A and B are shown apart, each in its own frame.
Chain A
């Protein structure tokens, strides 16, 4: 009996050891900020808040489970996850469900999934797996392969079209390649090549609406009631929040429906309007802390409490 209790306690300690308190705190803070803002933004759809709370609870459990997974397991699932994501992306291309003019969803019977979301994790995992395999014998061609591994899903996602997610996946992949030790001359080469390719991307790869979105982002006043409306209204929301904000549930831009998609894409504008510069600084600081918390401590590069370093033990 005592042995059983001790066993459970040991398991729990393993669990908690897998969790970084700073990381957890900043995540929690961001989640609370998100929930509070969503409550205000979705005040006319009270169901949203409830389902978001439920999703956070579920995601929290999943997060803890994943955090306690040995990195070996992650390495083992990397290739299948990546391949599954790639197949799903191809399936979306062929038989996806169109919502608001973009073919992003895949109907799998009981629910719809967005394969691009898989790739947010699939691409870094795949790259980590690849570089791990090639560790110590990295050559130029490996980085070339790595870029192909990134660019194929990115291109598929951009075609849906979902430029935002494509850029996220590209950034995630690029960071992994960078961390893997991409030589500086490559970095310079890619940067110069990327800049040189910009006109080509602009004219050949981007849809009209994507071009417009970028243009209005740069100058929302060019079409204040049309294409620039969303950008302009969220700028007004953020700016009118001032230093202290208009107060929770008091944002006029939010509650009078001037901010479009205020429960999703534009929720930061809602937060900025109601909590002001103080709120936005807090939020940014939390994000920075979250980033900073993932740094390995220089004193203990192999501290076992950090899940991502454990596999480095011989």
Chain B
């Protein structure tokens, strides 16, 4: 039996409970509304900003890299747009299988495969690594049709750097390459990293590197609305990029090509400078390399070939090769003698073919019995060693050092490309600092013929020659003549004023210059044969420098070592050199192991002058055959091998110091 129920009481109880529950629920609603108010009113602006941040991505718009042109407007570095096939390693399970499958659709050479793996190893932070560049239209179409088979493989249109002249001028141009960890640190130092946010490539060496800031341009930005997955929906605003500035080189690329051709397979360097401006007209280091190989990352085979070669094609000899400059030092010493009052123009030194100092016999490689009575003029024309042995001894190493310094010997010239070496302009103070040794008088004798502890770059030699040709007015040498705004075409010169002036007496300068003209015009001059018949007057000086030895890291090869022990052949010159004429070109060049300066180096200088002054292009590489044009005594007689002429070793260095020319 059911007990009696009292509905009224139950309803009352129920209502009481309902009110209690409603209070709980009501409090819940109030809390909810308070929370909504907190989020939507108090915190609104913060969340609004975060929603905008979510929605809008800044996408960098890479600026076009500036072009590089020569002084006549010939383009030597440009950009082109092409399709590349890129793999995103994170999205691909089996890289090898994917590349194998890809190679059935587009051609993938083993070289490209190796390069891909090297890039992958070298740049671990890259999201996407190219496997094939420069796809043909047909390949693009073929891949696009099969794209679904290759997740993680993307077809991208990119701008590429190209050096259309290939190996020409590679040492001055340099190249660009992928931005590495080290480059990123560099970017932090010189630029706003944001400006590089979309940049994959950066100048690595050469002008491409030293003018990186100007070439790069300003990266633009697009505000793009994106989904949570990163898919772009639409572009909201666009800040266009500003293209990088173009570089107008001071180099005449045609001249550069003629020089590189004239060197042939020989190693060496040549710098040509316009004395009045400091414009570098040619900047050659042989052998060269193809900078295009480096842009996309060089493959290991090509790298080993370049890096392991005994010819060191990657060494910038013009900038980083330091050499004793041999007899090309003599005109500067002669000038020092006149300016410091150690010699008068008519002072005569008797040259019997040798000179004895401190019990050692210093010989010269000239005619038997020496040059006889030699005055300053003759000492340069016939290149008497004895005259300069005695002169160096009279001047002393410190006076030589102090006179040569303003010409830029043993100092970086400040040319607008990185990596320049200072070389060595010796002094007693330097010798003590460097070797903790006293300077021996015998060492000064070697200095007199440009040997011994002298070590200069070809750039320094060319710069000093240009300064000599420019009446002692120093113009800083520069590879880039002007920076050109890519949009307006407006050009800004890089070097507008002289950087110094060496006080020289005009009559002394005139005498030394006349002697240098004698080198090419006097039948007894050492470069007479090379310049015979030239319709302009050139001032020059030959030089031959002894090779000290073979570097430790070079591969040993008996036949090559024999060749590589031969002397370096040097020549300095400027033209036109008629009295009152303004010299338009000054050069310094060196042919490694080329032998005698008059034979290997001087003919290249003649070819440079002929082209630059007359527009004449050489038919064949200019080489003088010994004896063929034997109008000078020296050229007619075969020169003894340098080792055979060693008479006495100076005590300090132990190396024989003898030079001809």
Contact of B21 with A284 in the complex, beta carbons under 8 Å: no
Query: Is the CB–CB distance between B33 and A281 below 8 Å?
Result: yes
Interface residues of B in 216-275 (CB under 8 A from A): 225-229, 233
User: Which of B18, B41, B54, B233 has most chain A Cβ within 10 Å?
Assistant: B54
Contact of B227 with A236 in the complex, beta carbons under 8 Å: no
Beyond A236-B51, A253-B54, whether A287 also contacts B29 by CB under 8 A is: yes
A48 within 8 A of B: no
Query: Is residue A288 contacting chain B, with contact meaning CB distance below 8 A?
Result: yes
Contact B47 A252 (CB under 8 A): no
Instruction: Tell me, yes or no, whether B405 is within 8 Å of chain A by CB.
Output: no
Chain A residue nearest to B32 (CB atoms) is A284
* Residues 125 to 173 of chain A near chain B (Cβ within 8 Å): 135-137
Question: Is there a chain A Cβ closer than 8 Å to B40's Cβ?
Answer: yes
Instruction: Return the chain B residue nearest A184 by Cβ.
Output: B20
Contacts of B3 in A (CB 8 A): 136-137
Determine whether the beta carbon of A242 is less than 8 Å from that of B54.
no
Bound form: Cα–Cα A298–B228 in Å: 53
Interface stretch, picked from B8-16, B278-286, B328-336, is B8-16
In the complex, what distance in Å separates the CA atom of A302 from the CA atom of B366?
Answer: 139
Does B37 have its Cβ within 8 Å of any Cβ on chain A?
yes
Contact B54 A236, beta carbon cutoff 8 Å:
yes
A181 / chain B contacts, CB cutoff of 8 Å? 13, 17
A235 touching B39, Cβ below 8 Å:
yes
Among the stretches A23-31, A204-212, A272-280, the one at the interface with B is A272-280
Among A179, A256, A287, A291, contact of B14 (Cβ-Cβ < 8 Å): A179
User: Any chain B CB within 8 A of the CB of A194?
Assistant: no
Interface residue range, chain B:
35 or more
- The binding surface of chain B is classed by DSSP as helix
Chain A 297-312 interface mask (CB, 8 Å, partner B; 1/0): 0100100000000001
Bound complex: CA of A312 vs CA of B10, how far in Å? 11
Whole-angstrom CA separation of A235 from B100 in the bound complex? 48
Note all chain A residues with C-beta closer than 8 A to B40: 238-239, 241-243, 272, 276-277, 280
Q: B20-35: contact bitstring with A at CB < 8 Å (1 yes, 0 no)? A: 1110011001001100
Say yes or no for B55: interface residue by CB 8 A criterion.
Answer: yes
Q: Determine whether A237 belongs to the interface, using a CB cutoff of 8 Å to chain B.
A: yes
Majority secondary structure, A binding face: helix
Decide yes or no whether B141 CB sits under 8 A from chain A.
no
Q: Are B36 and A281 in contact (CB under 8 A)?
A: yes
Assess whether A175 is interfacial by the CB under 8 Å rule. Answer: yes
- Inter-chain CA distance A292–B23, complex, in Å, is 11
Cα distance, A240 to B38, chains bound together (Å): 11
B226:A236 contact, CB within 8 angstroms: no
Contacts of A243 in B (CB 8 A): 40-41, 44
Contacts of B189 in A (CB 8 A): none
Name the residue in B47, B52, B225 with the highest tally of chain A Cβ atoms < 10 Å from its Cβ: B47
Q: Which residue of chain B has its CB nearest to the CB of A277?
A: B40
Q: Give A253 to B46 CA distance when docked, in angstroms.
A: 14
Residues of B within 8 A of A295 (CB): 18, 22
- Does chain A have a CB within 8 A of B5? yes
Q: Chain B nearest CB: distance from A288 CB in Å?
A: 5
Closest partner residue, chain B, to A180 (CB atom): B17
Q: CB distance B21 to A179 under 8 Å?
A: yes
Shortest CB-to-CB span from B237 to chain A, Å, is 16
A40 to B137, CA, bound (A): 43
Asked whether, in the complex, the Cβ of B17 is within 8 Å of the Cβ of A240, the reply is no
Query: Given A135-B5, A136-B4, A298-B15, is A240 in contact with B36 using a C-beta cutoff of 8 Å?
Result: no
The complex places the Cα of A301 from the Cα of B14 at a distance, in Å, of 11
Partner of A175, one of B21, B36, B43: B21
B2 at the A interface (CB under 8 A): yes
Q: Are B54 and A179 in contact (CB under 8 A)?
A: no
Give the contacting residue for B41; candidates A235, A242, A258, A272; CB below 8 A.
A242
User: Does B341 interact with chain A (Cβ within 8 Å)?
Assistant: no
Chain A residue contacts of B36, Cβ below 8 A: 238, 272, 277, 280-281, 284
CB <8 Å contact, B55 and A239: no
Rounded to whole angstroms, the CA-CA distance of A237 and B5 in the bound complex is 54
Query: Which has the most chain A C-beta neighbours within 10 Å: B36, B55, B228?
Result: B36
Contacting residues, chain B, for A252 (C-beta < 8 A): 51-52, 54-55, 225
Interface string of B47-77 (1 = CB under 8 A from A): 1101110110000000000000000000000
Binary contact readout A65-78 vs B (1 if CB under 8 angstroms, 0 otherwise): 00000000000000
Task: Answer yes or no: A257 CB below 8 A from chain B CBs.
Answer: yes
CB of A234 to closest CB in B, whole Å: 10
- Is there an interface contact between B29 and A288, defined as CB atoms closer than 8 Å? yes
Q: Does B7 contact A (CB under 8 A)?
A: yes
- CB-based nearest B residue for A258: B228
Which residues of A (175-189) have their CB < 8 Å from a CB of B?
175, 178-179, 181
Q: Of B7, B17, B29, B41, which is within 8 A of A179 by CB?
A: B17
Whether A178 and B51, one on each chain, are in contact in the complex, defined by CB atoms closer than 8 angstroms, is no
B-contact bits for A220-260, CB 8 A (1 contact / 0 none):
00000000000001011111111100000000110011100
Inter-chain contact A312/B7, CB cutoff 8 Å? yes
Cα A36 to Cα B543 with chains together (Å)? 93
Residues A253 and B29 in contact in the complex (CB < 8 Å), given A137-B3, A291-B22? no
Q: Which residue of B lies closest to A229 (CB)?
A: B228
Q: Are the CB atoms of B41 and A277 closer together than 8 Å?
A: yes
Q: Give, as a whole number of angstroms, the nearest-CB distance from A199 to chain B.
A: 24
Report the Cα distance A237→B39, complex, angstroms.
Answer: 10
Cα A177 to Cα B37 in complex, Å, equals 34
Shortest distance from the beta carbon of A248 to any chain B beta carbon, whole Å: 17
> Once the chains bind, are A256 and B15 in contact (CB under 8 Å)?
no
B47 → chain A, closest Cβ, in Å? 3
Q: How far is the CA of A252 from the CA of B51 in the complex (A)?
A: 7
| Chain A neighbourhood of B51, CB < 8 A | 236-237, 239-240, 252-253, 258
Q: Contact residues of A with B, CB < 8 Å?
A: 135-137, 175, 178-179, 181, 233, 235-243, 252-253, 256-258, 272, 276-277, 280-281, 284, 287-288, 291-292, 295-296, 298, 301, 312
Q: Given A252-B54, A253-B55, list of 16 further CB < 8 A pairs?
A: A136-B5, A178-B20, A179-B14, A181-B13, A235-B47, A238-B40, A239-B40, A239-B51, A252-B51, A256-B226, A256-B228, A258-B227, A272-B36, A284-B29, A284-B36, A288-B26
A-B contacts, 17 of them at CB < 8 A, read A136-B5, A179-B14, A233-B228, A236-B47, A236-B50, A238-B47, A239-B43, A239-B48, A240-B48, A242-B40, A242-B48, A258-B54, A280-B33, A280-B36, A287-B29, A288-B25, A312-B7
Q: Give the 7 A-B CB pairs with smallest separation, nearest first.
A: A239-B47, A240-B51, A136-B3, A277-B40, A239-B39, A257-B228, A240-B47
